[in-house]
Structure 1
Amino acid sequence: MITIYHNNRCSKSRETLALLENSTQPVNVINYLTSPPTVAELRDLLAKLQLGPEDIIRKGEALYKEVYATQHLTADEWLQVLTQNPVLIERPIVVHGDKAVIGRPPQNVLTIL
C-alpha cells in the first residue's frame, strides 16, 4: 500500500496523487491538515525520508516567517511545532514500505514505486 500525506489545495500534491492513482498499487490518502501526524508518526516519516524535522518545514509559509524563522528549536521542539501546525509540513509526502519521498517534483514518487 502507498500512503500520501496530501493537501488537495496544492497543485503538486494533486499531481502526485494523480501519478499514484495511475499505479497498480492501492493508495491511502491522508489529509494531513485535518488529520496531522503524531510526533511518533513524524519520527517514522523522517526516518523513511532520511531527513530531519527542519528539512520538511515549508519556510515560505507566513506562519513560519512570522513566528518560527528566528527561533532556534531542537528536533523534538520542531516535531511538536509540526504536529500542532501541520500547514508547515512540506507536501506531499509519499510512503511505500520502508521508503518515503517528498513529491516535489511529483515524479520523485516514481523512485519508490
Structure 2
Amino acid sequence: MTKTIIWHNPRCSKSRQTLALLEARGGELEVREYMTDMPNIGELREVMAKLGYTSAHEWLRKNEADYRELGLKAVEDEDALLNAMTQYPRLIERPVVIHGDKAMIGRPPEQVLELF
C-alpha cells in the first residue's frame, strides 16, 4: 500500500481540514509539519514535479508578507525561489498531499481525495 504524506501546518484551517479527511479515509499517513521540518531544495523539486508545476511561482503564497518583502514576483531564477521556500516555508502553498507519484494542494480540502 502506498503511503500518503501531508505537509501540514497545524495553524492553517485548510490544512487541519485536509488532515481530518485523510485520517477519516484511513491508510498509512505520514504528517510532516513543514514549518519546523523544512523541506530541502531537492524535496521541493521532487514535489513540484508531482504537483505538475513548471515553476515555483505556481506554488508560492503570493499574499504572504515575505513574498512582497523579498521581491519574489520579479525573481525568475528557480533556484533562488526554491531557496526562499526553504528559508521561509510559510511561502509554500499548503497543505500539500503526496501519494505515490502525484501530489495535490488541499484547496479545497476535498480535492485531495482525487489522488486515491
Q: TM-score, normalised by structure 1?
A: 0.95
Counterpart contact for 2:44–2:82, Cα < 8 Å: yes
Match of 1:63 in 2: 66
Q: What is the root-mean-square deviation in Å for CA atoms of aligned residues?
A: 1.1
Q: How many residues align?
A: 113
Match of 2:31 in 1: 29
> Does 2:40 correspond to 1:38?
yes
Alpha-carbon distance in structure 2 between the residues aligned to 1:46 and 1:56: 8
Structure 2 unmatched runs, 5+: none
SS at match of 2:103: strand
Structure 1 unmatched runs, 5+: none
Alpha-carbon distance in structure 1 between the residues aligned to 2:57 and 2:42: 16
Match of 1:17 in 2: 19
* TM-superposition CA deviations, 1:20-55 (whole Å, max 9, x none): 001121110000000111100001000100112111
Bigger CA drift: 21-30 or 61-70?
61-70
Match of 2:100 in 1: 97
